[in-house]
Chain A
């Protein structure tokens, strides 16, 4: 555990300049958009949509940071020569990234409230159809877990690519492994939980079977089923990565 904290410290130090720079640029852009309505008289509705969609950028940057840090650590002497098990090397960027991923929705919520206050609009971050506490929690879990699983799968592919003894073949093996894992997981998911990837809209109907409205139900058996399946796959990938890191990965 102590080793994890030490590795996290050095992963943070390695990224802190890039991270701070990115955060500053993002904050400036969002602040500009925040005041664009009052200063430039831009359409508040359209700007809000843009700045909300803009939050996809930090989300993807966090994933990129996690994967890049991991990949860099795999081929860095300083990390490969220390007597620390490979597990911590894998976990460290995941934990750091997770902290950022968990904080981000709250930032987004805060930003939206601020936007409403500044522009006098009335945007509801939480869409009316998902606006129940359980749905919000479920949405956050889906958001967080999807990205974490994606990152673990990418880490796994990188590890695999580095373990292939014929160097030129490595990246292709890694890429192939990534897509195969994604396909296999969704195939099993379908098979076991009949998960068609839709958002589980449950239609509310009247007595004549006419649809009145759709109610989304994120908190359901399928969700948990898929999450558990992915967790199992992630655990297998993690275990394999530790083995590969300690035994096979070439510099």
Chain B
């Protein structure tokens, strides 16, 4: 199996300890769906942004498919951020064209199909979309690329149950063996069954990195219970 996202002794210092990271190392493989779990401010978003190339580590290295994060790695990394990836003048179809212009691995047919599946109207102005609809648009765009690394930052943050189901369906449907999909979330129970492995982040450090079935087998606990237990210690 080939390594997709690798962090080696990554630290990130901020003036406050929020979002900071301390000596984080892990290696995520192709074909895996990985949950990056932690509370708000634990540093999971910092990891996602570093992998996407939006933030630089204070020390340590981050590489995607063996290339240090930079312009080249962005071509194989599909990030669904917590902030709009679109520009206010755009309509949904302009956002699709934007992706087509800049990402050579973008599949427009897949995007159109998925937007229809998600009930997102292509003629809608992106600024007029509700939070839930905007999340659906961004997820559709992110998953319509044939990337090596998918980073979904809190993809089910503010959406209703129906949308959550659709999002989980979409993730499972478009999953591929050659790529690694990382989902950061603090809502564990809703999606723990789609994970292969989970990485727990607490106060900027990795406290557990384990296969989910191993957690269930070893501790007789669900990932959510293990997560609560780990967080209760702090």
Q: Does B234 contact A (CB under 8 A)?
A: no
Chain A contacts of B54 at CB under 8 A?
Answer: 77, 80-81, 251
Counting residue pairs across A and B whose Cβ atoms lie within 8 Å, the total is: 58
Is the beta-carbon distance between A251 and B55 smaller than 8 angstroms? Answer: yes
A166-B15, A246-B71 as given contacts; A80 in contact with B53, CB under 8 Å = yes
For this complex, into which size category does the number of interface residues on chain B fall? 20 to 34
Q: Does B38 contact A (CB under 8 A)?
A: no
Chain A contacts of B13 at CB under 8 A?
Answer: 165
Q: Does B161 contact A (CB under 8 A)?
A: no
Is the beta-carbon distance between A78 and B87 smaller than 8 angstroms? Answer: yes
A6-B101, A250-B55, A251-B54 as given contacts; A77 in contact with B84, CB under 8 Å = yes
Chain B contacts of A81 at CB under 8 A?
Answer: 52-54, 74, 79, 81, 85
Q: State in angstroms the CA–CA spacing of A63 and B43 once bound together.
A: 39
Partner of A85, one of B49, B53, B71, B83: B71
Main SS at interface, chain B = loop
For this complex, into which size category does the number of interface residues on chain A fall? 20 to 34
Q: Does A13 contact B (CB under 8 A)?
A: yes
Interface positions, chain A 57-85, Cβ under 8 Å from B, are: 76-78, 80-85
Q: Does A133 contact B (CB under 8 A)?
A: no
Pick from A6, A83, A250 the residue with the most CB of B within 10 Å: A83
Interface positions, chain B 1-49, Cβ under 8 Å from A, are: 13, 15, 49
Partner of A17, one of B15, B53, B89: B89
Is the beta-carbon distance between A83 and B87 smaller than 8 angstroms? Answer: no
Partner of B71, one of A6, A13, A83, A251: A83
Chain A contacts of B174 at CB under 8 A?
Answer: none
Closest Cβ neighbor of A166 among chain B residues: B15
Partner of B83, one of A14, A77, A83, A84: A77
- How far apart are B47's CB and chain A's nearest CB, in angstroms? 14
Chain B contacts of A251 at CB under 8 A?
Answer: 49, 54-55
Chain A contacts of B70 at CB under 8 A?
Answer: 246-247
Q: State in angstroms the CA–CA spacing of A83 and B86 once bound together.
A: 16
A81-B81, A81-B85, A166-B15 as given contacts; A10 in contact with B98, CB under 8 Å = yes
Q: State in angstroms the CA–CA spacing of A121 and B22 once bound together.
A: 74
A78-B87, A83-B103 as given contacts; A247 in contact with B79, CB under 8 Å = no
Chain B contacts of A78 at CB under 8 A?
Answer: 84-87, 98
Chain B contacts of A248 at CB under 8 A?
Answer: 56
Q: State in angstroms the CA–CA spacing of A78 and B84 once bound together.
A: 8
Chain B contacts of A80 at CB under 8 A?
Answer: 53-54
Partner of A14, one of B53, B87, B102: B87
Q: State in angstroms the CA–CA spacing of A86 and B79 once bound together.
A: 19
Interface positions, chain A 19-67, Cβ under 8 Å from B, are: none
Q: Does B72 contact A (CB under 8 A)?
A: yes
Is the beta-carbon distance between A84 and B71 smaller than 8 angstroms? Answer: yes
- How far apart are B70's CB and chain A's nearest CB, in angstroms? 6
Q: State in angstroms the CA–CA spacing of A247 and B56 once bound together.
A: 7
- How far apart are B51's CB and chain A's nearest CB, in angstroms? 11
Interface positions, chain A 148-177, Cβ under 8 Å from B, are: 165-167
Interface positions, chain B 85-125, Cβ under 8 Å from A, are: 85-87, 89, 98, 101-103
Q: State in angstroms the CA–CA spacing of A81 and B83 once bound together.
A: 12
Partner of A84, one of B55, B56, B58, B102: B102
Q: Does B75 contact A (CB under 8 A)?
A: yes
Q: State in angstroms the CA–CA spacing of A73 and B86 once bound together.
A: 12
Is the beta-carbon distance between B81 and A77 smaller than 8 angstroms? Answer: yes
Is the beta-carbon distance between A6 and B102 smaller than 8 angstroms? Answer: yes
Is the beta-carbon distance between A250 and B102 smaller than 8 angstroms? Answer: no
Chain A contacts of B83 at CB under 8 A?
Answer: 77
- How far apart are A31's CB and chain B's nearest CB, in angstroms? 28
Is the beta-carbon distance between B74 and A83 smaller than 8 angstroms? Answer: yes
Closest Cβ neighbor of A9 among chain B residues: B101
- What are 5 pairs between A and B in contact, CB < 8 Å? A6-B101, A81-B53, A246-B71, A250-B55, A251-B55
Which residues in B have some Cβ–Cβ distance to A below 8 Å? 13, 15, 49, 52-56, 58, 70-72, 74-75, 79, 81, 83-87, 89, 98, 101-103
Which residues in A have some Cβ–Cβ distance to B below 8 Å? 6, 9-10, 13-14, 17, 76-78, 80-86, 165-167, 246-248, 250-251
Closest 5 CB pairs of A and B: A83-B75, A83-B74, A82-B102, A251-B54, A77-B85
